[in-house]
Amino acid sequence: MAVRVHAVDDGYVVVGGWEGCAATNAFLAHLAGRAFSAATVRAYAFDVLNLARFLIDRDLGLAAVTPVTVFEWIDWQGVRRDPRPGAAPRNGRQRTTAASTINRRVAAVRALFDAGAGRTISTAVIQSTVLSLRNLLDDITAWGWEQAPARRLVFAADVPKLDQPLPRALAPDVDAMVMNSVALLEDPFARIGLTVLRGAGLRVGELLDLELGSVVDYGPAGTWLKVPLGKLATERMVPLSAATVAALDEWTSGRGVCRPLPHPRTGALTDFLFVAHGRRLSQTRLRNGLLAAVERSGLRGAAGAPLIVTPHQLRHTWATELANAGMSLQALMALLGHVTPQMTIRYATLASPTLRAAYDQAMGKVRRRFTLTPVGKPIVPDAVSWLGSEMLKTRVAHGYCSRHEAAGACPYANICETCDNFVTGPEFRDALEAQRTDIQALETDARDRGWPDEAARHHRVADALTDHLHRLDR
């Protein structure tokens, strides 16, 4: 018996010889009980019906559905096929399914499985719902509707806060094992596509939308990839490594001549890079290839199950690698195609050598190089210890300066001794001679350490002190 949607007194049900009818009808009854409109319940019923027909064609039960099955179902909907018996083709052409319809069907099936598993509503859904309600109330108040509440009902504290997880980059050893296995994949599209994803930090949709001519050679500036408008409607240029260029060249050389296809966003005929047999390639082969690579590498997650790695994690790994190498967030933002700094700033919170270097530099500016003086000991170190310490040293008449090298040279060092208005007297002769002796030693020390600017500064101060002593002898 064919599976179909049947109208009943209290809504809609799916009837026919499919083992998932009972679970689907319980789901539809659940929607009706939540006061969903009859039209919405009917739309959900037909969306699940589409999945039922796919599963029947594959001789699969509802319990056998896996993520790979869902990807195959999505691809199945995009294939042009003859109309069912009794249904006339539109405009004499074979039927296909719009992307918006496929998205709606996937959402409906996800809701079906969530309801069957007893899952709770996610925080993101709750936040979206609360924000929609708040916007509605704000709008009807601004429009002056009589039904508008007399006071504000939804406040900022009522909007749930979403978690801000760090980018899920692969650890360096895991990344190396996965990409080594990717290089051994038999499927050329999966092997080359995953290599480009990892080597250029692309989103999957951006990879599939690449066109012929996207690779541009700028001579001394290297080879770059023109990334098309994607998720955030931004177009950007990304530099390519030699391995990534080689992968793209391999695909281009074996691609052959293919007819242009309509662009899903603009409808314009486009020469897409990743096509085969007159059709655009889908992300299913990329996901399957990545699953096979992880399985080959022997990586395991919790409870010994194969480690779950997604194509988008390759983008996170690429960006994390650049952040750890010291790339500025402004440059990283441009390469990733982010439109706000908040999207890129997550990479600044990673435990990386970049942060460690910044931490060490900051601590070096505030950390004193001298240990705390024990009780009863003088606070000023002896001259031998001070002269040999690792710092930018300045000898002043009444003490020592212990400015750290990371802080740079002090612009006020020995400013008085080298000032034209400096006046001294015979009673300070011993102090000036001792100061000159130390400064001459500092000049030698600075030259030995390879600090020519410091050596020149000490030389100028020593010359100034010599002039002051000569004036005392007149």
Ramachandran angles phi, psi of 126, nearest 5°: -60, -45
Instruction: Report pLDDT digits (tens) over 12-40.
Output: 888 888 888 888 888 788 777 777 778 88
Average pLDDT, the chain: 78
Which of the pair, 156 or 408, is modelled with greater confidence?
Answer: 156
Q: Are 318 and 194 in contact (CB under 8 A)?
A: no
Claim to verify: residue 178 and residue 106 sit in the same structural domain = no
Number of domains in the chain: 3
Q: What is the CATH number of the domain that holds 193?
A: 1.10.443.10
This prediction has a pTM of 0.49
Residues 104 and 191 in one domain: no
Query: Is residue 63, in this structure, part of any structural domain at all?
Result: yes
Taking residue 315's Cβ as centre, other Cβ atoms within 10 Å add up to 22
> The domain containing residue 250 runs over which residues?
172-317
User: What DSSP letter does each residue of 270-297 carry, written as one string?
Assistant: E-BSSEETTEE--HHHHHHHHHHHHHHH
Which pLDDT tens digit goes with each residue over 148-182? Answer: 777 787 788 777 777 666 678 888 899 999 999 99
CA distance 235 to 228: 5
pLDDT at 124: 72
Residues 261-318: tens digit of each pLDDT: 888 777 889 899 999 988 899 889 999 999 999 999 998 887 788 888 999 999 999 9
Specify if 397 maps to a domain: yes
Candidate from 101-110, 293-302, 304-313, 338-347 with smallest mean pLDDT: 101-110
pLDDT at 71: 74
Task: Return d(Cα 390, Cα 402) in angstroms, integer.
Answer: 9
Q: Is the pLDDT of residue 113 over 80?
A: no
Which ranges of 149-255 does DSSP label H, i.e. alpha helix? 172-182, 188-200, 204-208, 242-255
Give CA–CA dist 226/56, Å, rounded.
43
What is the chain's length? 474
Whether residues 428 and 292 share a domain: the answer is: no
Domain membership flag for residue 80: yes
* Residue pLDDT, tens place only, 58-97: 887 777 777 777 777 777 776 644 555 555 554 444 455 6
192 in any annotated domain: yes
CATH number for 69 = 1.10.150
Residue 274 shares a structural domain with residue 390: no
Same domain, 177 and 80: no
Q: Is 16 left (phi over 0), alpha (psi -120 to 50) or beta?
A: left
Map residue 321 onto helix, strand or coil: helix
212 within domain boundaries: yes
- Among 226-230, 341-345, 372-376, the minimum mean pLDDT is found in 372-376
Give the per-residue pLDDT at 220.
Answer: 85
